[in-house]
């Protein structure tokens, strides 16, 4: 009898641990929990940014052109929570008046990718700690730059994407004037629609209110199927 109780206790502990990652944070890992949350609050929906007009994409993690040097995402998709997507659309319409458009490098990132990055880098200045998770895992962060719509070229910014040095800090000033101005424009418009630039990366923006959204570990495929 005692053995049976112990087994039952063990099994129930395993079940209740299902949403806890090995780093001890709560992560949504199943489609039905996610669907339930969306039903309760439509803002929970992770919408495909690819459905939005006028936004450019260069999803580095779907290629080998990233700091990992490996393909991390099986498809070049970009998702964000409903309100985040709406704010991005608002920013893009402001940029459009200047002949510019936003170009997204990364948006929602499944939690498993954050764990992969951390285990590779083991420094949490430029990659998120799996103990807290990334705001990308909440569908509330975007990495992006600006494109000149006429030429299709990226604007001259302080560094390339995922350049890990102080040159990437939004306060770094030993740059060309054009780079400072372009970075300034990007930050000003993004912050006017509800984002906050990250102190170490000029390209990373957190949506204000990200705390209200859980960490997620659903794949792009699962998100597409649950639409």
Q: How far is the CB of 217 from Zn ion (least distance, A)?
A: 17
Q: How far is the CB of 141 from Zn ion (least distance, A)?
A: 5
Count of residues interacting with Zn ion (CB under 5 A): 2
Part of the chain binding Zn ion (CB under 5 A), chosen from 44-52, 167-175, 185-193, 200-208: 200-208
Our finding on whether 135 is near Zn ion (CB under 5 A) is no
Q: How far is the CB of 204 from Zn ion (least distance, A)?
A: 4
Identity of the residue, 33 or 65, whose beta carbon is nearer to Zn ion in the bound complex: 65
Rounded CA-CA distance 137/213 in Å is 9
Looking at the DSSP bridge assignments, the partners of residue 80 are: 47
Identity of the residue, 206 or 227, whose beta carbon is nearer to Zn ion in the bound complex: 206
Identity of the residue, 81 or 204, whose beta carbon is nearer to Zn ion in the bound complex: 204
Q: Six-digit token pair at 17? A: 């641990």
Beta 141-148 vs 100-106: how paired, if at all? Answer: antiparallel
Q: How far is the CB of 49 from Zn ion (least distance, A)?
A: 14
Our finding on whether 143 is near Zn ion (CB under 5 A) is yes
Part of the chain binding Zn ion (CB under 5 A), chosen from 14-22, 74-82, 136-144, 160-168: 136-144
Our finding on whether 204 is near Zn ion (CB under 5 A) is yes
Cβ contact 116:198 at 8 Å:
no
Rounded CA-CA distance 44/35 in Å is 9
Identity of the residue, 19 or 191, whose beta carbon is nearer to Zn ion in the bound complex: 191
Identity of the residue, 60 or 204, whose beta carbon is nearer to Zn ion in the bound complex: 204
Our finding on whether 138 is near Zn ion (CB under 5 A) is no
Identity of the residue, 47 or 60, whose beta carbon is nearer to Zn ion in the bound complex: 60
Q: How far is the CB of 57 from Zn ion (least distance, A)?
A: 15
Cβ contact 59:106 at 8 Å:
yes
Identity of the residue, 10 or 131, whose beta carbon is nearer to Zn ion in the bound complex: 131
Q: How far is the CB of 40 from Zn ion (least distance, A)?
A: 28
Q: How far is the CB of 203 from Zn ion (least distance, A)?
A: 7
Site residues (vs Zn ion, CB under 5 A): 143, 204
């Amino acid at each position: 009898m005692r053995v049976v109780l112990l087994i039952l206790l063990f099994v129930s502990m395993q079940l209740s641990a299902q949403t806890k990652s090995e780093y001890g944070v709560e992560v949504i890992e199943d489609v039905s929990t996610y669907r339930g949350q969306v039903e309760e609050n439509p803002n929970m929906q992770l919408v495909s940014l690819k459905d939005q007009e006028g936004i450019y994409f260069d999803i580095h993690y779907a290629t080998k052109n990233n700091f990992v040097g490996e393909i991390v995402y099986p498809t070049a998709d970009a998702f964000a929570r409903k309100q985040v997507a709406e704010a991005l659309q608002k920013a893009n319409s402001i940029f459009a008046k200047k002949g510019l458009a936003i170009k997204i490098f990364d948006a929602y990132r499944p939690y498993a990718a954050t764990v992969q990055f951390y285990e590779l880098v083991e420094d949490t200045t430029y990659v998120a700690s799996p103990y807290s998770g990334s705001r990308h895992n909440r569908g509330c962060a975007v990495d992006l730059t600006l494109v000149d719509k006429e030429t299709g070229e990226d604007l001259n910014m302080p560094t390339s994407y995922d350049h890990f040095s102080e040159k990437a800090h939004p306060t770094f000033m030993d740059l060309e004037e054009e780079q400072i101005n372009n970075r300034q424009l990007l930050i000003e418009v993004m912050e006017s629609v509800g984002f906050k630039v990250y102190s170490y990366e000029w390209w990373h923006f957190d949506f204000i209110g990200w705390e209200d959204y859980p960490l997620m570990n659903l794949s792009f495929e699962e998100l597409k199927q649950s639409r």
